[in-house]
Protein backbone atom coordinates (compact mmCIF):
# COMPACT_ATOMS: atom_id res chain seq x y z
CA UNK A 1 0.00 0.00 0.00
CA UNK A 2 1.26 3.49 -0.84
CA UNK A 3 1.79 6.14 1.81
CA UNK A 4 -1.23 8.39 2.27
CA UNK A 5 -1.84 11.43 4.49
CA UNK A 6 -4.58 11.64 7.11
CA UNK A 7 -5.33 14.97 8.79
CA UNK A 8 -6.14 14.82 12.50
CA UNK A 9 -9.21 16.98 11.88
CA UNK A 10 -10.57 14.26 9.59
CA UNK A 11 -9.97 11.17 11.73
CA UNK A 12 -11.53 10.73 15.15
CA UNK A 13 -9.65 7.45 15.65
CA UNK A 14 -6.58 9.53 16.51
CA UNK A 15 -6.95 10.19 20.23
CA UNK A 16 -5.89 13.46 21.86
CA UNK A 17 -4.71 13.51 25.49
CA UNK A 18 -4.53 16.57 27.72
CA UNK A 19 -6.61 19.70 28.14
CA UNK A 20 -6.88 21.62 24.90
CA UNK A 21 -9.40 23.41 22.72
CA UNK A 22 -11.78 21.39 20.53
CA UNK A 23 -10.40 22.67 17.22
CA UNK A 24 -8.32 19.85 15.66
CA UNK A 25 -7.09 21.89 12.69
CA UNK A 26 -4.41 21.50 13.95
CA UNK A 27 -4.42 19.80 17.37
CA UNK A 28 -2.59 22.00 19.87
CA UNK A 29 -0.71 20.36 22.75
CA UNK A 30 0.02 22.71 25.66
CA UNK A 31 0.30 20.93 29.02
CA UNK A 32 3.02 18.43 29.89
CA UNK A 33 2.03 14.87 29.07
CA UNK A 34 -0.38 16.03 26.37
CA UNK A 35 -0.22 13.62 23.49
CA UNK A 36 -1.74 12.09 20.41
CA UNK A 37 -2.28 8.33 20.46
CA UNK A 38 -3.17 6.01 17.64
CA UNK A 39 -3.42 2.33 16.82
CA UNK A 40 -2.13 1.55 13.36
CA UNK A 41 -1.61 -1.40 11.05
CA UNK A 42 1.17 -0.22 8.76
CA UNK A 43 4.86 -0.65 8.01
CA UNK A 44 5.71 3.08 7.94
CA UNK A 45 4.45 6.01 9.98
CA UNK A 46 5.27 9.72 9.93
CA UNK A 47 3.81 12.65 11.84
CA UNK A 48 3.44 16.24 10.64
CA UNK A 49 4.22 18.49 13.57
CA UNK A 50 5.14 22.10 14.29
CA UNK A 51 6.98 23.49 17.31
CA UNK A 52 6.05 27.05 18.29
CA UNK A 53 8.01 29.04 20.85
CA UNK A 54 9.98 32.21 21.57
CA UNK A 55 12.63 30.93 23.98
CA UNK A 56 11.72 27.46 25.24
CA UNK A 57 11.76 24.79 22.55
CA UNK A 58 9.57 21.70 22.59
CA UNK A 59 10.74 18.14 23.19
CA UNK A 60 8.71 15.02 22.50
CA UNK A 61 8.92 11.39 23.56
CA UNK A 62 7.80 8.59 21.26
CA UNK A 63 6.25 5.52 22.86
CA UNK A 64 5.64 2.33 20.88
CA UNK A 65 3.39 -0.29 22.49
CA UNK A 66 3.99 1.38 25.85
CA UNK A 67 7.81 1.33 25.55
CA UNK A 68 10.05 4.38 25.46
CA UNK A 69 11.60 4.38 21.97
CA UNK A 70 12.85 7.89 21.22
CA UNK A 71 13.12 11.45 22.47
CA UNK A 72 13.97 14.56 20.49
CA UNK A 73 13.94 18.33 20.33
CA UNK A 74 11.64 19.75 17.67
CA UNK A 75 12.74 22.29 15.11
CA UNK A 76 11.02 25.64 15.06
CA UNK A 77 9.19 24.77 11.86
CA UNK A 78 6.51 22.53 10.40
CA UNK A 79 8.06 19.18 9.53
CA UNK A 80 7.43 15.49 8.92
CA UNK A 81 9.03 13.28 11.58
CA UNK A 82 9.55 9.57 10.94
CA UNK A 83 8.15 7.40 13.73
CA UNK A 84 9.02 3.94 12.40
CA UNK A 85 9.68 1.91 9.24
CA UNK A 86 9.55 -1.79 8.28
CA UNK A 87 7.06 -2.76 10.98
CA UNK A 88 4.91 -5.85 10.55
CA UNK A 89 1.80 -4.30 9.00
CA UNK A 90 -0.35 -7.27 9.99
CA UNK A 91 0.00 -6.42 13.69
CA UNK A 92 -1.53 -3.47 15.54
CA UNK A 93 1.04 -0.97 16.79
CA UNK A 94 0.12 1.51 19.52
CA UNK A 95 1.87 4.86 19.15
CA UNK A 96 1.90 7.78 21.53
CA UNK A 97 3.65 11.09 20.77
CA UNK A 98 4.03 12.93 24.09
CA UNK A 99 4.83 16.58 24.82
CA UNK A 100 7.63 16.46 27.39
CA UNK A 101 7.76 20.15 28.25
CA UNK A 102 5.23 21.89 30.48
CA UNK A 103 3.02 24.79 29.45
CA UNK A 104 5.46 27.69 29.60
CA UNK A 105 4.03 30.67 31.47
CA UNK A 106 7.05 32.74 30.41
CA UNK A 107 6.73 31.94 26.69
CA UNK A 108 3.60 33.33 24.96
CA UNK A 109 4.12 31.19 21.82
CA UNK A 110 4.95 27.84 23.41
CA UNK A 111 2.90 24.90 22.08
CA UNK A 112 3.04 21.95 19.71
CA UNK A 113 0.77 21.79 16.67
CA UNK A 114 0.00 18.38 15.18
CA UNK A 115 -1.49 18.41 11.70
CA UNK A 116 -1.49 14.94 10.16
CA UNK A 117 -0.01 11.49 9.97
CA UNK A 118 1.27 9.66 6.89
CA UNK A 119 1.21 5.87 6.69
CA UNK A 120 0.86 2.91 4.36
CA UNK A 121 -1.97 1.26 6.22
CA UNK A 122 -5.00 1.94 8.39
CA UNK A 123 -5.76 3.77 11.64
CA UNK A 124 -7.85 1.87 14.19
CA UNK A 125 -9.77 3.27 17.19
CA UNK A 126 -8.06 3.72 20.56
CA UNK A 127 -10.31 2.52 23.36
CA UNK A 128 -10.69 4.56 26.52
CA UNK A 129 -8.87 3.09 29.48
CA UNK A 130 -10.96 2.02 32.47
CA UNK A 131 -9.79 4.88 34.68
CA UNK A 132 -9.33 8.62 34.28
CA UNK A 133 -6.78 10.44 36.43
CA UNK A 134 -5.75 14.07 36.82
CA UNK A 135 -2.39 15.18 38.22
CA UNK A 136 -1.97 18.71 39.58
CA UNK A 137 1.30 20.17 40.77
CA UNK A 138 4.49 22.12 40.22
CA UNK A 139 7.88 21.34 38.66
CA UNK A 140 7.87 17.87 40.20
CA UNK A 141 4.63 17.00 38.44
CA UNK A 142 5.96 18.65 35.27
CA UNK A 143 8.86 16.19 35.29
CA UNK A 144 11.53 18.87 35.59
CA UNK A 145 14.85 17.25 36.47
CA UNK A 146 13.78 13.70 35.66
CA UNK A 147 16.54 13.51 33.08
CA UNK A 148 20.11 14.77 33.36
CA UNK A 149 22.57 14.69 36.24
CA UNK A 150 23.37 16.71 39.36
CA UNK A 151 25.67 19.26 37.67
CA UNK A 152 22.95 20.08 35.09
CA UNK A 153 21.35 23.21 36.49
CA UNK A 154 20.26 25.18 33.42
CA UNK A 155 16.55 26.00 33.41
CA UNK A 156 15.89 24.75 29.89
CA UNK A 157 13.40 22.51 28.13
CA UNK A 158 15.88 19.66 27.73
CA UNK A 159 15.52 18.61 31.38
CA UNK A 160 11.79 17.90 31.20
CA UNK A 161 11.05 14.25 30.37
CA UNK A 162 7.46 13.23 30.94
CA UNK A 163 7.72 9.41 30.67
CA UNK A 164 10.21 9.47 33.57
CA UNK A 165 7.80 11.36 35.84
CA UNK A 166 5.39 9.97 38.44
CA UNK A 167 2.17 11.01 36.59
CA UNK A 168 3.11 8.88 33.59
CA UNK A 169 4.35 5.99 35.75
CA UNK A 170 1.24 5.97 37.95
CA UNK A 171 -1.16 6.23 35.01
CA UNK A 172 0.61 3.41 33.20
CA UNK A 173 0.46 1.12 36.24
CA UNK A 174 -3.19 2.03 36.89
CA UNK A 175 -4.10 1.63 33.19
CA UNK A 176 -5.58 5.13 33.15
CA UNK A 177 -6.12 7.95 30.72
CA UNK A 178 -4.84 11.09 32.39
CA UNK A 179 -4.22 14.82 32.26
CA UNK A 180 -1.58 17.00 33.92
CA UNK A 181 -2.00 20.57 35.19
CA UNK A 182 1.36 21.83 36.47
CA UNK A 183 3.75 24.77 36.55
CA UNK A 184 7.33 24.90 37.77
CA UNK A 185 7.78 27.18 40.77
CA UNK A 186 4.07 27.58 41.47
CA UNK A 187 2.21 26.77 44.67
CA UNK A 188 -1.22 26.40 46.16
CA UNK A 189 -1.00 29.93 47.63
CA UNK A 190 2.12 31.52 46.11
CA UNK A 191 5.18 30.72 44.02
CA UNK A 192 8.68 30.07 45.35
CA UNK A 193 9.41 33.83 45.08
CA UNK A 194 6.22 34.92 46.93
CA UNK A 195 4.19 35.89 43.85
CA UNK A 196 0.53 35.23 44.79
CA UNK A 197 -0.50 35.35 41.12
CA UNK A 198 1.46 32.15 40.49
CA UNK A 199 -0.89 29.77 42.26
CA UNK A 200 -2.44 26.82 40.44
CA UNK A 201 -5.95 27.18 41.98
CA UNK A 202 -6.37 30.58 40.29
CA UNK A 203 -6.20 28.97 36.85
CA UNK A 204 -7.44 25.42 37.43
CA UNK A 205 -10.88 26.09 35.96
CA UNK A 206 -9.45 27.47 32.69
CA UNK A 207 -8.42 25.27 29.75
CA UNK A 208 -4.95 26.76 30.03
CA UNK A 209 -5.01 30.18 31.65
CA UNK A 210 -1.39 30.13 32.80
CA UNK A 211 -0.02 31.38 29.46
CA UNK A 212 -0.53 35.15 29.10
CA UNK A 213 -1.06 37.09 25.91
CA UNK A 214 -3.71 37.73 23.30
CA UNK A 215 -2.75 34.80 21.07
CA UNK A 216 -3.85 32.03 23.43
CA UNK A 217 -6.80 34.11 24.61
CA UNK A 218 -8.00 34.47 21.02
CA UNK A 219 -7.61 30.73 20.43
CA UNK A 220 -9.84 30.03 23.44
CA UNK A 221 -7.38 28.66 25.98
CA UNK A 222 -8.49 31.17 28.63
CA UNK A 223 -12.08 29.95 28.42
CA UNK A 224 -13.51 27.74 31.16
CA UNK A 225 -12.73 24.06 30.95
CA UNK A 226 -15.62 21.74 30.11
CA UNK A 227 -15.42 19.48 33.15
CA UNK A 228 -18.56 17.57 32.22
CA UNK A 229 -16.86 16.20 29.11
CA UNK A 230 -13.99 14.58 31.03
CA UNK A 231 -14.43 13.56 34.68
CA UNK A 232 -11.47 12.02 36.52
CA UNK A 233 -11.96 9.08 38.85
CA UNK A 234 -8.87 10.08 40.83
CA UNK A 235 -7.18 13.46 41.29
CA UNK A 236 -3.61 13.52 42.54
CA UNK A 237 -2.44 16.89 43.93
CA UNK A 238 1.21 17.63 44.72
CA UNK A 239 1.41 21.28 45.76
CA UNK A 240 3.07 22.99 48.72
CA UNK A 241 6.77 22.67 47.99
CA UNK A 242 7.03 26.16 46.49
CA UNK A 243 4.86 27.67 49.20
CA UNK A 244 7.46 26.42 51.64
CA UNK A 245 10.16 27.97 49.47
CA UNK A 246 8.39 31.33 49.65
CA UNK A 247 8.89 31.42 53.42
CA UNK A 248 12.65 31.17 52.87
CA UNK A 249 13.01 33.55 49.91
CA UNK A 250 12.86 37.28 49.35
CA UNK A 251 9.63 39.25 49.16
CA UNK A 252 7.85 39.80 45.85
CA UNK A 253 6.89 43.33 44.78
CA UNK A 254 4.13 43.61 42.21
CA UNK A 255 5.57 45.77 39.40
CA UNK A 256 2.13 47.21 38.57
CA UNK A 257 0.83 48.07 42.05
CA UNK A 258 4.02 48.23 44.09
CA UNK A 259 2.43 45.98 46.71
CA UNK A 260 4.84 43.66 48.54
CA UNK A 261 4.04 40.02 49.34
CA UNK A 262 5.98 37.79 51.73
CA UNK A 263 5.32 34.57 53.62
CA UNK A 264 7.28 35.26 56.78
CA UNK A 265 9.47 33.48 59.25
CA UNK A 266 10.60 34.55 62.71
CA UNK A 267 13.97 32.91 63.18
CA UNK A 268 13.42 29.23 62.48
CA UNK A 269 9.66 29.40 62.97
CA UNK A 270 6.94 29.96 60.39
CA UNK A 271 4.69 32.92 61.20
CA UNK A 272 1.32 31.41 62.10
CA UNK A 273 -0.66 34.14 60.34
CA UNK A 274 1.03 33.21 57.07
CA UNK A 275 0.79 29.48 57.67
CA UNK A 276 -2.97 30.01 57.87
CA UNK A 277 -2.88 31.59 54.39
CA UNK A 278 -1.41 28.41 52.96
CA UNK A 279 -3.75 26.20 54.99
CA UNK A 280 -6.81 28.11 53.78
CA UNK A 281 -5.54 27.94 50.20
CA UNK A 282 -5.48 24.13 50.54
CA UNK A 283 -9.03 24.12 51.92
CA UNK A 284 -10.33 26.44 49.22
CA UNK A 285 -8.65 24.48 46.43
CA UNK A 286 -10.30 21.29 47.63
CA UNK A 287 -13.63 23.09 47.38
CA UNK A 288 -12.84 24.07 43.78
CA UNK A 289 -11.79 20.51 42.93
CA UNK A 290 -14.91 19.00 44.45
CA UNK A 291 -17.23 21.50 42.77
CA UNK A 292 -15.88 20.57 39.36
CA UNK A 293 -15.24 16.86 40.01
CA UNK A 294 -18.07 15.70 42.28
CA UNK A 295 -17.27 11.97 42.25
CA UNK A 296 -13.46 11.92 42.18
CA UNK A 297 -11.23 10.48 44.87
CA UNK A 298 -8.78 13.30 45.75
CA UNK A 299 -5.33 12.33 47.00
CA UNK A 300 -2.90 15.03 48.17
CA UNK A 301 0.55 13.50 47.69
CA UNK A 302 3.48 15.25 49.34
CA UNK A 303 7.02 14.82 50.60
CA UNK A 304 9.17 13.98 47.57
CA UNK A 305 11.16 17.21 48.01
CA UNK A 306 10.83 17.90 51.72
CA UNK A 307 7.83 17.68 54.01
CA UNK A 308 7.83 20.95 55.99
CA UNK A 309 4.39 21.88 54.64
CA UNK A 310 2.87 18.43 55.30
CA UNK A 311 1.24 19.42 58.64
CA UNK A 312 -0.17 22.57 57.03
CA UNK A 313 -1.63 20.61 54.13
CA UNK A 314 -3.12 18.05 56.50
CA UNK A 315 -4.62 20.86 58.57
CA UNK A 316 -6.17 22.31 55.42
CA UNK A 317 -7.60 18.91 54.48
CA UNK A 318 -9.00 18.41 57.98
CA UNK A 319 -10.63 21.84 57.91
CA UNK A 320 -12.22 21.10 54.55
CA UNK A 321 -13.53 17.72 55.70
CA UNK A 322 -15.01 19.19 58.88
CA UNK A 323 -16.84 21.80 56.83
CA UNK A 324 -18.00 19.48 54.05
CA UNK A 325 -18.17 15.96 55.47
CA UNK A 326 -16.35 14.83 52.35
CA UNK A 327 -14.68 11.47 53.02
CA UNK A 328 -13.13 10.96 49.59
CA UNK A 329 -9.96 12.91 50.45
CA UNK A 330 -6.64 11.30 51.40
CA UNK A 331 -3.12 12.43 52.24
CA UNK A 332 -0.26 10.30 50.90
CA UNK A 333 3.27 10.70 52.23
CA UNK A 334 5.90 10.30 49.50
CA UNK A 335 9.49 9.08 49.93
CA UNK A 336 11.90 12.02 50.07
CA UNK A 337 14.54 12.48 47.38
CA UNK A 338 18.08 11.66 48.49
CA UNK A 339 21.59 11.76 47.01
CA UNK A 340 20.93 8.49 45.20
CA UNK A 341 17.67 9.56 43.56
CA UNK A 342 18.24 13.25 42.80
CA UNK A 343 18.16 14.29 39.16
CA UNK A 344 19.12 17.49 37.38
CA UNK A 345 18.40 20.97 38.73
CA UNK A 346 18.36 19.55 42.27
CA UNK A 347 14.99 18.02 41.51
CA UNK A 348 13.79 14.44 41.97
CA UNK A 349 15.27 12.19 39.33
CA UNK A 350 13.72 9.18 37.63
CA UNK A 351 14.29 6.83 40.57
CA UNK A 352 12.71 9.31 43.00
CA UNK A 353 9.69 9.49 40.72
CA UNK A 354 9.62 5.72 40.45
CA UNK A 355 9.51 5.38 44.26
CA UNK A 356 6.81 8.04 44.45
CA UNK A 357 4.80 6.28 41.75
CA UNK A 358 5.01 2.97 43.60
CA UNK A 359 3.79 4.66 46.80
CA UNK A 360 0.94 6.47 45.08
CA UNK A 361 -0.16 3.43 43.11
CA UNK A 362 -0.21 1.19 46.19
CA UNK A 363 -2.35 3.73 48.04
CA UNK A 364 -4.74 4.39 45.15
CA UNK A 365 -5.39 0.73 44.46
CA UNK A 366 -7.10 0.57 47.83
CA UNK A 367 -9.76 2.96 46.56
CA UNK A 368 -10.44 1.29 43.22
CA UNK A 369 -12.62 -1.83 43.15
Residues 166 and 201 in one domain: yes
The alpha carbon dihedral of 312, 185, 191, 167 has a sign of negative
pLDDT per residue as tens, the chain (369 positions): 899 999 999 999 999 999 999 999 999 999 999 999 999 999 999 999 999 999 999 999 999 999 999 999 999 999 999 999 999 999 999 999 999 999 999 999 999 999 999 999 999 999 999 999 999 999 999 999 999 988 899 999 999 999 999 999 999 999 999 999 999 999 999 999 999 999 999 999 999 999 988 889 999 999 999 999 999 999 999 999 999 999 999 999 999 999 999 999 999 999 999 999 999 999 999 999 999 999 999 999 999 999 999 999 999 999 999 999 999 999 999 999 999 999 999 999 999 999 999 999 999 988 775
**What domain range includes position 343?**
131-364
- Give the three-class secondary structure for 1: coil
As a whole number of angstroms, the distance between CA 263 and CA 272 comes to 10
Residues 169 and 87 in one domain: no
Measure Cα distances from 161 to 140, 234, 340 in Å. 11, 23, 19
As a whole number of angstroms, the distance between CA 162 and CA 64 comes to 15
Q: How many structural domains compose the chain? A: 2
Residues 159 and 308 in one domain: yes
Residues 356 and 315 in one domain: yes
Beta strand 252-253 with 260-261 is: antiparallel
CB atoms within 10 A of CB 70: 14
As a whole number of angstroms, the distance between CA 99 and CA 61 comes to 7
Judge whether 155 and 44 are in contact, CB under 8 Å: no
Spatial neighbors of 325 by CB under 8 A, at least 6 apart, are none
CB atoms within 10 A of CB 262: 16
Query: Closest by alpha carbon to 146, among 208, 102, 94?
Result: 102
Among residues 124, 151, 186, which one ends one of the domains? 124
Overall pTM > 0.95: yes
With 0-12 CB in 10 A as exposed, 13-18 as middle and 19+ as buried, what is 266? Answer: exposed
DSSP state of 198: -
Residues 172 and 96 in one domain: no
Residues 115 and 141 in one domain: no
Residue 65 placed within a domain:
yes
Residues 102 and 146 in one domain: no
Residues 179 and 84 in one domain: no
Amino acid sequence: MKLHTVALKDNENIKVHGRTIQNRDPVKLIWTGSAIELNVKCSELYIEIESCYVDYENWISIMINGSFIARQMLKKEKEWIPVFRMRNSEKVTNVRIIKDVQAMNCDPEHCIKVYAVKLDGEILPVEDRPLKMEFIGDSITSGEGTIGTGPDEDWISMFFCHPFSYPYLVAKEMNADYRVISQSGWGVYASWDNNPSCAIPLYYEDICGVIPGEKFKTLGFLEKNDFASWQPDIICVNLGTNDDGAFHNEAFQDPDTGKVYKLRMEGEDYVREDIIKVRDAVTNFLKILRKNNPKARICWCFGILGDAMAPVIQEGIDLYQKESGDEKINFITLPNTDENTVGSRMHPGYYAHLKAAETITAAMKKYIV
